[in-house]
Amino acid sequence: MSNNHGNTPAAWTAVVVGLLGFVVSSVGLLFSPISYPIFWVGVAIVAAAGVVFVVMAKMGLHAESGH
């Protein structure tokens, strides 16, 4: 298990982008009738959070920082 417990720029950025995606998807479901385009944009943003994490991790932003 790593010593940083996920407290890295890559992890936090992925969490924020994922949260944004969930909010966008939720807003799409609140409309009457349901707005499926907005919902799917939110789903795409959630998927992009995983891609953002992998890219940032490969850039070295998921490494342990010196305390």
Q: What's the domain range around 52? A: 15-58
Question: Torsions phi, psi of 6, nearest 5?
Answer: 85, 5
Task: Look at residue 62 in the predicted model and tell me its pLDDT.
Answer: 83
What share of the chain has pLDDT > 90, as a percent? 76
The answer, yes or no, to whether residue 1 has pLDDT greater than 90, is: no
What DSSP assignment string belongs to 21-55? HHHHHHHHHHSSS--HHHHHHHHHHHHHHHHHHHH
Cα radius of gyration (the chain): 15
Length reported for the chain? 67
Task: Confirm whether 10 is domain-assigned.
Answer: no
Task: Look at residue 66 in the predicted model and tell me its pLDDT.
Answer: 56
Sign of CA dihedral 29, 31, 36, 37: negative
Total domain count for the chain?
Answer: 1
Task: Look at residue 63 in the predicted model and tell me its pLDDT.
Answer: 76
* pLDDT tens per residue across span 8-33: 899 999 999 999 999 999 999 999 99
